[in-house]
Copies of this chain bind each other. A is one copy, B any other.
Amino acid sequence: MLVVAATHGNERCAAWLLECWLAQPSTLVNPQLDLALEYGNPAAHAINRRYVDRDLNRCFSAELLRGSCGDVAEVVRARELLALYGPGAECPAAVVLDLHSTTSAMGNSLVLYGRRPADLALAAAIQAKLGLPIYLHEGDASQSGFLIERWPCGLVIEVGPVAQGLVDPAVCRKTQLALEVALEMIAAAWRGELPLPRRLVVHRHRGSLDLPRRPDGTALACLHPLRQGRDWQPMRSGDPLFLGADGRMIPYVPSAELAGQTVYPVFINEAAYGEKGIALSLTSREVWPVEEPWVEDLSRGLQRGCPL
Interface residues of A (CB under 8 A from B): 16, 19-20, 23-24, 27, 103, 161-170, 172-173, 218-219, 222-225, 228, 243, 245-247, 269, 271-272, 274
How many angstroms from the CA of A222 to the CA of B172 in the assembled complex?
Answer: 10
Q: Are the C-beta atoms of A173 and B225 separated by less than 8 Å?
A: yes
- Decide if A245 touches B27 in the complex (CB within 8 Å): yes
Which B-chain residue is minimally distant from A245 (CB atoms)? Answer: B20
Cβ of A155 to closest chain B Cβ, rounded Å: 24
* A243: chain B residues within 8 A (beta carbon): 169
Given contacts A163-B103, A163-B161, A173-B225, contact A245 B168 (CB under 8 A): no
Q: How far is the CA of A170 from the CA of B228 in the complex (A)?
A: 8
Closest CB in chain B relative to A251 CB, distance in Å: 15
Pick from B218, B225, B247, B274: contact of A27, CB under 8 Å: B247
Inter-subunit contact A164/B245 (CB<8 Å): no
Those 8 A-B pairs whose CB atoms lie nearest each other, nearest first: A163-B163, A103-B163, A165-B271, A169-B225, A20-B245, A167-B222, A166-B271, A163-B271
Tell whether, in the assembled complex, residue B164 and residue A223 are in contact, meaning their CB atoms are under 8 Å apart.
no
A220's closest neighbor in chain B, by CB? B23
| Bound complex: CA A16 to CA B228 (Å) | 16
Cβ-defined contact, A23 with B228, below 8 A: no
B23 adjacent to A169 (CB under 8 Å): no
